[in-house]
Amino acid sequence: MAFNVINEARRCLNCKRPMCREGCPISTNIPEVIQTFLGGDIDAAGAMLFENNPMSVICSLICNHENQCEGHCVLGRKGAPVHFSNIENYISDTYFDKLDFGEIKKNGKRVGVIGGGPAGLTIAILLAVKGYDITIFESREKIGGVLRYGIPEFRLPKELIERYKRLLISLGVKIRPNTAIGITITVDDMLRDGYRAIFIGTGVWRPNTLHIKGESLGNVHFAINYLTNPDVYTLGDSLNVIGAGNSAIDVARTALRHGCKKVTIFSRSEKIAASVTEVEFAQIDGVEFVTCAQPVEITDEGTIFVTVEENEDGSKHIVEGSEKLYPAASTIIAVSQGPKDRIVSTTKGIDVNDRGLLVTNTYGKTTRDGIFAAGDVVLGARTVVEAVNYSKQVAEAMDEYLRTLED
């Protein structure tokens, strides 16, 4: 492994204008990291990665590299790009357990983090290092959010999230599991109890629906619910998955690993939205794909689709008489998610847009003083690296805000 990673790192041209960095949503200084690694200082390379992206070791596994850093590598124009994901994972994984922040001087200011997903974890780490007294409020029994409950084990080992938990505890962060803010405890309760600032990073856990007949049947489920705990579902031997993003791919591959014999993914478009790599893995696993198909009804016997064709102007139309039943024991709908309204419905002064997402300024400040937000609950369902990048800016804004408050 180490030898292969070193050889891969040696392929880097150390470009003066690194296109790989431009393709990275969090602007990782890839050539500098690689050259530092090749120079024999893996700890310095690891520190660069962690300082730029506290979720580096996770992003190295789940980022859409083919469209980001690796997809922009100049070597990929005529051959294979430098596979920085493998290099990043080796460096970050090796360095992670060596993290040492020294003695952190506490400043006595309490900050609440609602949601233990990638945005919340990023905020908690960055502010804990600055000396704030952090408490994470997690609605489920374990932290991780979409990392734990939305990405399968075969893509992201859950032990990695446990390592983050140990890091947080070592930084003095308190974790309250099974605590959904907006039910028993409210934001106002937190402010009453001395939290000087609050961060909301609750993600998007309300499945979007298709609004077609049959969605309430017993053999129909939603992707985000299924991925949370696949073991409790009985899908039968065959499954139709409506939607063709990475979440749909995760559902399909997970279902095959849980006993389904035949799994088919349906896309309304001719193009599959998921990354090419994930599609290739799914095809190797045995997943079938049907494109240009729009669902119109779900039945006990399967899903009825119609054929969709594209017009010359780019619009689409349904082909008359093209209704076809695709038999399956179960159907899973994977057409993204939206936010729940548990917090905003119990808190005055926090505005949302027409999609139910929290309204913030560029630096994550909501319409109520002292309350900040980032991640999917602000941007909608996005990638982990985008959530982390935004959360870095918000952490700086929160620190600046907190410094203005009297002790």
**CATH code at position 307:** 3.50.50.60
What's residue 138's pLDDT?
A: 95
Q: Which two tokens stand for residue 273?
A: 């939205």
Residue 1 pLDDT exceeds 90: no
114 within a domain of the structure (yes/no): yes
User: How far is CA 23 from each of CA 67, 139, 297, 380, 393, rounded to the nearest angstrom?
Assistant: 8, 34, 40, 21, 19
| In the predicted structure, residue 177 carries a pLDDT above the cut 60 | yes
Q: What is the mean pLDDT of the chain?
A: 93
Q: Which residues contact 122 (CB under 8 A, 6 or more apart)?
A: 54, 55, 387, 388, 391, 392, 395
**Do residues 300 and 233 both lie within one domain?**
yes
Confidence grade of residue 284 (pLDDT, cut at 50, 70, 90): very high
**Which residues, 6 or more positions from 301, have their beta carbon under 8 angstroms from its beta carbon?**
325, 327
Considering the chain, what percentage of its residues have pLDDT values greater than 70?
A: 99
Is the distance from CB of 394 to CB of 363 less than 8 angstroms? yes
320 within domain boundaries: yes
What is the longest distance spanned by two Cα atoms in the chain? 71
Looking at the chain, the whole-number percentage of residues with pLDDT higher than 90 is 83
| Number of Cβ within a 10 Å radius of residue 395 | 26
Mean pLDDT of 262-280: 94
Q: Is residue 102 part of a domain?
A: no
Element (H, E) at 324: strand 324-327
- Model confidence at 2, in pLDDT bands (50, 70, 90)? low
Please tell me whether residues 321 and 249 are part of one structural domain. yes
Q: Tell me the per-residue pLDDT of 215-254, one tens digit each, with 9 for 90 and over.
A: 999 999 999 999 999 999 999 999 999 999 999 999 999 9
> Are residues 349 and 331 part of one domain?
no
Same domain, 216 and 331: yes
Alpha carbons 93 and 97: distance in angstroms, whole number? 8
Residue 327 lies in a domain: yes
pLDDT beyond 60 at 3? no
Q: What is the pLDDT of residue 141?
A: 95
Assess if residue 262 is contained within a domain: yes
User: What average pLDDT does the segment 379-391 reach?
Assistant: 88
| pLDDT higher than 60, residue 396 | yes
Residue 337 binned pLDDT confidence (cut-offs 50, 70, 90):
confident
Q: What is the pLDDT of residue 342?
A: 75
- Asked whether residue 350 falls in the same domain as residue 331, the answer is no
Q: Do 325 and 221 fall into the same domain?
A: yes
Domain limit, last residue, from 50, 65, 96: 96
Strand 330-333, strand 220-222: pairing: parallel
Q: Is there a single domain that holds both residue 143 and residue 245?
A: no
Which residues, 6 or more positions from 3, have their beta carbon under 8 angstroms from its beta carbon?
none
Q: Return the beta strands (E) in 33-177 as ranges.
A: 110-114, 133-137, 174-176
163 and 179 belong to one structural domain: yes
- What tokens does 147 get? 């990392």
Q: Is the domain of 372 the same as that of 385?
A: yes
Is it the case that residue 315 has pLDDT exceeding 90? no
Domain identity same for 199 and 144? yes
Domain boundary among 49, 66, 96: 96
Whether residue 194 is found in the same domain as residue 245: no
pLDDT confidence bin for 204, thresholds 50/70/90: confident
* Residue 51 domain flag: yes
pLDDT for res 341: 67
- pTM, entire model: 0.92
Instruction: Report pLDDT for 53.
Output: 97
Mean pLDDT of all residues in 383-393: 93
- pLDDT for the residue numbered 262: 98
Residue 117 has pLDDT above 90, yes or no: yes
Rounded-to-integer distance, Cα 230 and Cα 149, Å: 10
* Residue with more model confidence, 353 or 111: 111
CATH number of the domain where residue 89 is located: 1.10.1060.10
Pairing of strands 324-327, 302-310: antiparallel
Structure confidence at residue 82 as a pLDDT band (50, 70, 90): very high
Q: Output the CA–CA distances (angstroms, integers) from residue 384 to 62, 96, 379, 390, in the order listed.
A: 8, 18, 11, 10
Work out whether strand 302-310 and strand 316-318 pair parallel, antiparallel, or are unpaired: antiparallel
Tell me whether residue 104 is in a domain.
no
Compute the residue count for the chain: 407
Of the candidates 69, 96, 123, which is a domain's last residue?
Answer: 96
Q: Kindly state whether residues 127 and 183 are assigned to the same domain.
A: yes
- 101 lies in some domain: no
Looking up tokens 């349904």, which residue turns up? 318
pLDDT of amino acid 327: 98
Burial label, 152 (beta-carbon count in 10 A; 0-12, 13-18, 19+): middle
Domain that holds residue 150: 110-205+338-403
For the chain, what is the domain count? Answer: 3
